[in-house]
Amino acid sequence: MPEILYFGPGCPGDDISLSAERASRINGMDVSVPSAVLLPVGGLGFFGWPALAGHRNGRDFLLNVQDWQVERTTMGVVLRGRDRVAAIAVAFELAIHDCGVVATAVSVTNHGTETYTLDRCMAATMAVGDGPAVLTSLSGMWGREFRLSSEPLGRGLWMQESRRGRTSHDRFPGLFLTSGRTTYAIHVGASGNHQLAVDLLDDGCRLVHGGELFEPGEVLLEAGQSYHSPQAYLTASFEGVDGAASRLRAVVDKSILDWPDVTARPRPVTFNTWEGSYFDHRLDALKAQAEVAAELGVERFVLDDGWFGRRDDDTSSLGDWSVDHRKYPSGLGPLIDHVIGLGMEFGLWFEPEMVSPDSDLYRAHPDWALGIAGRPRPLSRHQLVLDLTRQDVSDYLFDRIDAVLEGQRISYVKWDMNRDLTNAGGVDGRAVTASQTRALHALMERVRKRHPAVEIESCASGGGRANYGVLRHTHRIWTSDCTDALERLEIQRGATHFFPPSILGAHISGSPNHQTGRRHSLAFRAVVALAYHLGVELDPLTLAPDERRELAQWISLHKRLRPLLHASGASFAGDPVDGRYVWGAAMPDRIALFVAQGPTMLAEQPPPLRVAVPQATARSWRIAAVHPAAPAFIRVSSGQQALLAGDSDFSLDTLRHAGLALPMLRPESGVILEIEPV
């Protein structure tokens, strides 16, 4: 297999001498075998974790791919090799993006006459330098996804496997690995089961692998058939996890979000009906909410769950994608017209992959749900998953979604997915998760082709389906079902390690918060949401006049700062220090700096605020505006007053290294500083 000579910034180029074979031999083997190879397989005399594995009814249980050919492509290379004994061909595609991210994908083709069972095929293998290494990954649960944690790597194999049939809340398909002065990152752009492995080699280096995870016998390649992996994304930086994360955000902005019409226009401020109305859809109330939303400055009104079938709670109607005429006697038209008449776009919630046992669809087609004959089908949120790999199911869903969108001025779909896949067996009783997720992407693509002006949000009970694969068909991610601003500090910080703020939905919701019961000031809720794809998710009719005024001001501030906050490559974030979180965006001529305090500070004096702002060029800067006008600071000295009033200049080196003497904030409060060149 091709050897990885070096992976990282500052690649030495052609002079890296590499024709010389390694002198050492492993465990006395008579041939020297390189261990840092792309897709190591057992057939090499390689004793580590194989990245490719399969068999033909027990035979051809190892591969030795040879006869490699190199084909140059516009963005990289395709390496093709063959194992003539096993009659298996492998193609490794590699594309290099300008922002320093490498995208890879692997295909395996069966050239034999008998079925080949593909047990494993990683989409990427990356070599990491030797020595101690610290691994940073994202874990969590529903309502608390994207939780960053770091651990030193030991000598064993580190493995993460996710079997939920979606990227999941608990095991995000990506990680950072810091070894020596380099931080490496990998992300698998897949919506289904995945596997990440970090394997220690004999020379102390490590191989990091990422790809799909298959159930036993899930991928059978008949004669002539191929498996195509999802794409994986790799990068490395000398600027730590933040440096690697900013490259990943850049690849999303520049290469994954293939929506020129969308990047060209600002992300519309969204109003979502879920937490304000839940299943209680009353046309008059919704119209009145829309009126207030428009006055607040909202640009898109999204009608969430509850508009179809007879869906008065979460126990019924998924699959029956026609308007509930009890709630909307003349269809959705009057509400859509009203919303559009107020100057907003209209969006609608769907959960296409699901079916409620209490639905007309299920009564007519109980066999359309995934399951294993003879076994119960476990319900989750009272629902089952449809088998999208069946053409009739996929056609039905396309037709239903098309019928709702057709002729209506709907420009946005919130595409939800509220349960894990379990017992995911298809018609022939074999596992289908890998093909189900491909069928999902194909269905999204079909809807997009038919309705190119419709944007799609990827939601799975919040951020349960967030990955670069689904982002090729969608426009934003619902970051989390938890809208509590305190929780969101960590959730959003974690999510921005892989996604730019412009595509992460962040809503200002009611107080007390519906998930945690915490009460927060409107200012804190707004500061925490404002840098992302901003939304409002509460019943605006319940707001007092002064709250309406304040909310309108925050929305207007967001709109003013949005070109900076959502500019490609502008965003930054630091590690929290003593419960104080810092994030924002910088351009050569202005900086928006967000500071929020989670728990009470331990330090009697706040540590200087240091921020690794990128890009900005001017020599002298000052604070030009502070939002809210009276932040919840504790003890402000006269010098700090002068700083906040814009009377003290500072250099960016001060901001980066020495730090600003910002006063301490009360717990669960925040401030936005607009910083400009003097």
Which residues partner with 618 through β-bridges?
none
> What does the radius of gyration of the chain's CA atoms come to, in whole angstroms?
26
Q: How far is the CB of 445 from ligand GLA (least distance, A)?
A: 22
**Contacting ligand GLA within 481-540 (CB under 6 A):** 481
Choice from 60, 253, 416, 457 touching ligand GLA (CB under 6 A): 416
User: Is 462 an interacting residue with respect to ligand GLA (CB under 6 A)?
Assistant: yes
**Contacting ligand GLA within 378-397 (CB under 6 A):** none
**Contacting ligand GLA within 119-178 (CB under 6 A):** none
* Rounded Cα distance, 603 and 659, in Å: 16
Tokens 């965006």 identify what position? 585
User: Is 570 an interacting residue with respect to ligand GLA (CB under 6 A)?
Assistant: no
Tokens 């949401």 identify what position? 529
Whose Cβ is closer to ligand GLA: residue 230's or residue 347's?
Answer: 347
Orientation angle between helical segments 522-529 and 485-495, nearest 10 degrees:
10
Dihedral pair phi/psi, residue 248, rounded to 5°:
-65, -40
- Which residues have a Cβ under 8 Å from the Cβ of 576 and sit 6 or more positions away? 489, 493, 582, 598
* Rounded Cα distance, 210 and 484, in Å: 33
Residues 150/170/352/495 CA torsion (nearest 10 deg): -20
* Rounded Cα distance, 595 and 580, in Å: 7
- Which residues have a Cβ under 8 Å from the Cβ of 391 and sit 6 or more positions away? none
Q: How far is the CB of 407 from ligand GLA (least distance, A)?
A: 24
User: Is 420 an interacting residue with respect to ligand GLA (CB under 6 A)?
Assistant: no
Q: How far is the CB of 440 from ligand GLA (least distance, A)?
A: 17
**Contacting ligand GLA within 63-92 (CB under 6 A):** none
User: Is 459 an interacting residue with respect to ligand GLA (CB under 6 A)?
Assistant: yes
Q: How far is the CB of 461 from ligand GLA (least distance, A)?
A: 5
Choice from 255, 359, 418, 479 touching ligand GLA (CB under 6 A): 418
User: Is 461 an interacting residue with respect to ligand GLA (CB under 6 A)?
Assistant: yes
Q: How far is the CB of 136 from ligand GLA (least distance, A)?
A: 26
The span of 356-364, 455-463, 526-534, 567-575 binding ligand GLA (CB under 6 A) equals 455-463
* Rounded Cα distance, 566 and 569, in Å: 8
Taking alpha carbons only, the member of 607, 674, 608 closest to residue 645 is 674
Which residues partner with 537 through β-bridges?
509
Given the residues 60, 305, 320, 481, the one annotated as active site: 481
Using CB under 6 A as the binding criterion, the count of chain residues that bind ligand GLA stands at 12
**Residues 214, 451: contact at Cβ < 8 Å?**
no
Taking alpha carbons only, the member of 116, 63, 85, 65 closest to residue 223 is 116
Q: How far is the CB of 350 from ligand GLA (least distance, A)?
A: 10
Residue 395's SS3 state is helix
* Rounded Cα distance, 290 and 181, in Å: 52
**Contacting ligand GLA within 583-642 (CB under 6 A):** none
Q: How far is the CB of 283 from ligand GLA (least distance, A)?
A: 19
Burial of 517 per CB tally in 10 Å (0-12, 13-18, 19+)? exposed
Alpha helices in 370-496 (DSSP H): 391-405, 433-450, 485-495
652: Cα within 13 Å, side-chain hemisphere = 19
Question: Could you tell me the maximum CA-CA distance found in the chain, to the nearest angstrom?
Answer: 82
**Residues 443, 404: contact at Cβ < 8 Å?**
no
Q: How far is the CB of 53 from ligand GLA (least distance, A)?
A: 36
Residue 481's region, left for phi above 0, alpha for psi from -120 to 50, else beta, is: alpha
Whose Cβ is closer to ligand GLA: residue 353's or residue 416's?
Answer: 416
Whose Cβ is closer to ligand GLA: residue 43's or residue 165's?
Answer: 165
Instruction: Say whether 416 is catalytic.
Output: yes
The span of 100-108, 112-120, 454-462, 662-670 binding ligand GLA (CB under 6 A) equals 454-462
Whose Cβ is closer to ligand GLA: residue 461's or residue 502's?
Answer: 461
Instruction: Say whether 428 is catalytic.
Output: no
Whose Cβ is closer to ligand GLA: residue 301's or residue 349's?
Answer: 349
Question: How does strand 232-237 pair with strand 533-537?
Answer: unpaired
Given the residues 83, 416, 420, 484, the one annotated as active site: 416
User: Is 565 an interacting residue with respect to ligand GLA (CB under 6 A)?
Assistant: no
Q: How far is the CB of 94 from ligand GLA (least distance, A)?
A: 36
**Contacting ligand GLA within 319-358 (CB under 6 A):** 349
Whose Cβ is closer to ligand GLA: residue 233's or residue 349's?
Answer: 349
Q: How far is the CB of 424 from ligand GLA (least distance, A)?
A: 20
Q: How far is the CB of 289 from ligand GLA (least distance, A)?
A: 16
Tokens 């053409």 identify what position? 391
Residue 43's SS3 state is helix
Write a three-state SS string for 503-572.
Answer: HEEEEEECCCCCCCCCCCCHHHHHHHHCCCEEEEECCHHHCCHHHHHHHHHHHHHHHHHHHHHCCCCCEE
User: Is 274 an interacting residue with respect to ligand GLA (CB under 6 A)?
Assistant: yes
Whose Cβ is closer to ligand GLA: residue 459's or residue 582's?
Answer: 459
Whose Cβ is closer to ligand GLA: residue 146's or residue 478's?
Answer: 478
The span of 172-180, 322-330, 457-465, 595-603 binding ligand GLA (CB under 6 A) equals 457-465
The span of 90-98, 336-344, 458-466, 609-617 binding ligand GLA (CB under 6 A) equals 458-466
Whose Cβ is closer to ligand GLA: residue 215's or residue 314's?
Answer: 314
Question: How does strand 101-110 pair with strand 232-237?
Answer: antiparallel
Please work out, in degrees rounded to the nearest 5, the angle formed at the alpha carbon of residue 341 by the alpha carbons of 448 and 447. 10
Whose Cβ is closer to ligand GLA: residue 37's or residue 534's?
Answer: 534
Whose Cβ is closer to ligand GLA: residue 230's or residue 462's?
Answer: 462
List the x/- string, 281-320, binding to ligand GLA by CB under 6 A.
-----------------------xx--------x------
Choice from 172, 321, 478, 583 touching ligand GLA (CB under 6 A): 478
Tokens 């794809």 identify what position? 533
The span of 207-215, 400-408, 420-428, 459-467 binding ligand GLA (CB under 6 A) equals 459-467
Closest residue to ligand GLA, based on beta-carbon distance: 305
Tokens 């009377």 identify what position? 647
**Residues 143, 515: contact at Cβ < 8 Å?**
yes
Sign of CA dihedral 351, 356, 358, 360: positive
Whose Cβ is closer to ligand GLA: residue 478's or residue 583's?
Answer: 478
Q: How far is the CB of 349 from ligand GLA (least distance, A)?
A: 6
- Whether cis (ω within 30° of 0) applies to the bond prior to 628 is yes
Residues that bind ligand GLA (CB under 6 A): 274, 304-305, 314, 349, 416, 418, 459, 461-462, 478, 481
Q: Which residues are catalytic?
A: 416, 481
